[in-house]
């Protein structure tokens, strides 16, 4: 499972002109699910994302997590993160999870995040989405479990 995380001041996602998810300060998570992923890998990635120290403390060092700052999460499914781009000029998605498996793990990931007491917003699984963000820094990391 892969999570491209971005520290944001604000982020939102729209589907067919309607806002379906929106957060203020926190983390935008673009979530990619691969065939070998399961609830254990989802739990590991969620723990890493929610505890990853990417927010600055009082002296300007990245020492605080999204939980420390009581920030928010916007979780957006993105199967293209599972692409193999090592050869050729067209991505291969052979390692991506099936839509059924990916949606189940995406929903599991979201529900587990809510149990942590974090405000969570979502995109719409499988939809054509437009994501808008105010990347803070910019600070962006690829995390994997």
Nearest Cα to 103, choosing from 13, 42, 5, 33?
33
Catalytic residue list: 78-80
Question: Do 136 and 10 form a contact (C-beta atoms < 8 A)?
Answer: no
Contacts for 21 with CB less than 8 Å, ≥ 6 apart: 12, 13, 74, 75, 76, 121, 122, 123
pLDDT tens for each residue of 18-33: 999 999 999 999 999 9
pLDDT tens for each residue of 94-122: 999 999 999 999 999 999 999 999 999 99
Considering the domain delimited by 2-85+93-144, tell me its CATH architecture: 3-Layer(bba) Sandwich (3.50)
Domain ranges of the chain: 2-85+93-144
Please state the separation of Cα 92 from the chain's center in Å: 21
Average pLDDT of the segment spanning 139-145: 97
Using alpha carbons, list the distances in angstroms from residue 121 to 24, 36, 62. Answer: 10, 26, 24
Using alpha carbons, list the distances in angstroms from residue 76 to 38, 108, 109. Answer: 18, 13, 11
pTM for the model stands at 0.96
């Amino acid at each position: 499972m892969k999570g491209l995380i971005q520290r944001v001041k604000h982020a939102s996602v729209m589907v067919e002109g309607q806002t379906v998810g929106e957060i203020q300060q926190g983390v935008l998570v673009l979530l990619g699910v691969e065939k070998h992923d399961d609830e254990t890998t989802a739990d590991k990635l969620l723990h890493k994302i929610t505890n990853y120290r990417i927010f600055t403390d009082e002296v300007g060092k990245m020492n605080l997590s999204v939980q420390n700052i009581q920030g928010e999460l916007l979780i957006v499914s993105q199967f293209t993160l599972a692409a193999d781009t090592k050869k050729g000029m067209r991505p291969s998605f052979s390692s991506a999870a099936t839509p059924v498996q990916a949606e189940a793990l995406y929903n599991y990931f979201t529900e587990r995040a809510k149990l942590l007491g974090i405000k969570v917003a979502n995109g719409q699984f499988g939809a054509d989405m437009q994501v808008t963000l105010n990347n803070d820094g910019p600070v962006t990391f690829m995390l994997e479990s």
